[in-house]
Chains A and B, each alone.
Chain A
Amino acid sequence: MAEFLQYTVNGLIAGSAYGLLALAMTLIYGILSVPNFALGAIYALGAFISFYVIQWLGPGYYLFSLIPVVLLAGILGIASERIVFRPLHDAPHAAGFIGALGLYSMMEGGWSVWFGPTWRSIVSPYNEIIIMMGSVSLTLQRLILLFVCLLFALGTYFLVFRTLTGKKIRASSENKDVARLLGVATNRMTSLTFVIGYALSGIGGALVAPTALVGSSMGLTPIIKSFIVVALGGLGSVTGAIVGGLILGLGENYGAAYISSMYKDIFSFGLFLMVLLLMPQGLYKR
């Protein structure tokens, strides 16, 4: 039982990070109908910024790294929407998808040239502080990760469902033409969605960085998993992304604990095939 609780907590922590990324993915998918890979590169960028902030200012300023991350990710979000996705919007035949791939590869390659191709780990004292809750133990670092992720996920949820701007975003993603007819500045909403999505994904990377290895290609597997989460939750669904993220995190940790840890990454693919076979609409049909 104690072990089970431990796996549950580990799963929730992993799941909250997946949920944050999936939130970014689902928002942009809703507006563009393209799984935007470039988010994976932004995730790595967030981790690099977090790495340098901790190196220069010390681990106490860890959360301050979120400020440059959000700024930079937002600029990149607007730039990639304007330069890549808007020209490709009316192009036929998966051009948007290919554009996203090109953008990802370019950014990943760029980071690897800029920051160097080596993998590095962050030394943070929060990784040493262990908190015991009953029989469950976890490091302070991971607790911060869990809470900040949930905070941003709830914030985004509130923004999308409880504000006028959120209503406009939802309207643009539901039907762009009708939304424009009703006076929504859909182009501006698209840009805004890109800024939110890129910022969330950068934040995800910055938060995960001290608990993982930082390198230019660190974002690829998480971004694929985040798409699997989005497929599970229902393409374009915000609630589905958060719930789906937690389900994948839990499933992976139980699977690693009770079946095999070596094939941890395989479970998500198995889950993906199950979703496609059994409930292709996802949990929350939009």
Chain B
Amino acid sequence: MERSIRLLIFLFLGLVVLLIPLLTSSNYWIYMFTLVGIYIILVASLDLLYGYTGLVSLGHGAAFGIGAYACGILQVKLGYSFLPAILGGTLFSCVFSAIIGWPMLRIKGRPYFAMGTLAMGIMVTIVIHNWDSLTGGVSLAGIPLPPTVHFLGWTLDFSSKRPYYYLVFFVVFLSIFLIHRLNRSRVGRAFKSIRENADLAEALGVNILRYKLISYVIASTMAAFAGGLYACYMGSIEPEIAGGHMSFELLVMIVVGGARTITGEVLGPLLLWFLPEFLEAAQVYRPLFYGLVLLIVIILMPSGIAGKVRSLHPRIAKWIP
């Protein structure tokens, strides 16, 4: 029963995603939804860390930025084409997060990981800013769109907005599917045991450092892939995408949306991306707004909007994956 409900919801969401470009003719909305899609990948991968493994990362933007820059540099400076560049960038971020994650995750029960990832985000922006022979300094421009693909008589020309939108949402569905597949596996149960009681998990033979590292590396790899997609879509990128504000906004999105629910992973980016846009609030008000929303949510409903709605009634919970 529950399984078929979940399938129904997914089919419905898939339909919505397919229909959005047909309902609107304006490229602006397609552009906005494509960016929201990239945010959903980021927030879903952050949920793997924060929600499922219980690790607060304040450097998720760094993984995103490293992926974006590696992908951009491989294309602009080294002349690789789209596919090797995005895969190479993702691989680089994967290796980097494994190296940097090990010392930060080694000590349990202390906020070293959160503070370390925050510091790392700032360091990454400083390095990108200063290493301008490689990264272009204040911005890296001229990253090309993926080349046109001919497939079974179809032509995907990425210079128009729609094919890229479909590409991004294909990755969104894939990453959400992968994350929740992973969480129902043995590895996912290890993540859960670490979140609930790390000492007990260790006593029962779970290698907590290994599983924390696995969680961190997978989340960073996904974020880096999203970074590659972002870099190619925007054409030019700035160091700030790796910085503290970006990581902070991602964390707010997952906390407000509701950790450990697919609904939350989608709702958080949708709400917090469009709300400031609708309020037409100036850029100055954004940190104030985000901070206030975060405080209200963490004090009044710590499991986020989706978690709150789920807790109303078990029958409702069944409909909110």
Contacts and interface: CB of A to CB of B under 8 A. Distances in A.
A252 to B, nearest CB: 13
A102 B126 contact: no
Interface residues of B, number: 42
A129 B112 CA distance: 42
Interface of B: 54, 56, 58, 100, 103-104, 106-107, 110-112, 114-116, 118-120, 122-123, 126-127, 130, 195, 244, 248, 251-252, 255, 284-292, 294-295, 298-299, 302
B99 to A, nearest CB: 10
Contact of B291 (A92, A109, A228): A109
A8 interface: no
Contacts of A105: 248, 287-288, 290-291, 294
Given A269-B120, A272-B119, A106 B112 contact: no
A103 B291 contact: yes
B1 to A, nearest CB: 30
A41 B276 CA distance: 23
Interface stretch (A51-59, A134-142, A173-181, A259-267): A259-267
Nearest to B55: A94
Nearest to A235: B110
Interface in A75-134: 84, 87-88, 91-95, 97-99, 101-110, 112-113, 117
Interface in A14-67: 34-35
Nearest to A41: B291
Interface of A: 34-35, 84, 87-88, 91-95, 97-99, 101-110, 112-113, 117, 220-221, 224, 227-228, 231, 235, 262-263, 265-266, 268-269, 272-273, 276-277, 280
B295 A103 contact: yes
B103 A276 contact: yes
B173 to A, nearest CB: 28
18 contacts: A97-B111, A97-B114, A98-B251, A99-B295, A99-B298, A99-B299, A101-B294, A105-B287, A106-B295, A107-B291, A113-B288, A224-B115, A224-B122, A231-B112, A263-B126, A266-B123, A266-B126, A276-B106
**Most chain-A Cβ atoms within 10 A of its Cβ — which of B120, B126, B195?**
B126
Contacts of A99: 295, 298-299
Question: For A102, A110, A228, A269, which residue has the most chain B Cβ atoms within 10 angstroms?
Answer: A102
Given A265-B123, A276-B104, A88 B298 contact: yes
A18 B299 CA distance: 31
Nearest to A220: B244
A71 to B, nearest CB: 23
Nearest 10 A/B pairs, CB to CB: A109-B288, A106-B291, A105-B291, A109-B287, A102-B294, A102-B295, A276-B103, A280-B107, A269-B123, A94-B56
Contacts of B294: 98, 101-102, 105-106
Contacts of A106: 287-288, 291-292, 294-295
A84 B103 contact: no
Most-contacted residue by chain A among B110, B116, B195, B295 (CB, 10 A): B295
A269 B120 CA distance: 7
Nearest to B286: A109
Contacts of B106: 276-277, 280
A57 B116 CA distance: 41
Chain A binding surface SS class: helix
Contacts of A97: 56, 111, 114
Given A269-B120, A276-B112, A102 B107 contact: no
B54 A104 contact: no
Given A113-B288, A224-B122, A276-B103, A101 B248 contact: yes
B289 A109 contact: yes
Contacts of B111: 34-35, 97
A95 B298 contact: yes
A95 B297 CA distance: 10
A269 B287 CA distance: 25
B302 A91 contact: yes
Contact of B298 (A102, A220, A265, A272): A102
Contacts of A84: 295, 299
Nearest to B107: A280
A19 to B, nearest CB: 18
A117 B130 CA distance: 24
Contacts of A95: 298, 302
Contacts of B286: 109
Contacts of B130: 262-263
A117 B290 CA distance: 17
A33 to B, nearest CB: 8
Given A101-B291, A113-B285, 14 more contacts: A92-B302, A94-B54, A102-B291, A105-B287, A106-B287, A106-B294, A109-B289, A220-B122, A263-B126, A263-B130, A265-B123, A266-B126, A269-B122, A280-B106
Nearest to A260: B130
A156 B126 CA distance: 34
B219 to A, nearest CB: 16
A88 B294 CA distance: 13
Contacts of A87: 299
A106 B299 CA distance: 14
A265 B126 contact: yes
A126 to B, nearest CB: 30
A107 to B, nearest CB: 7
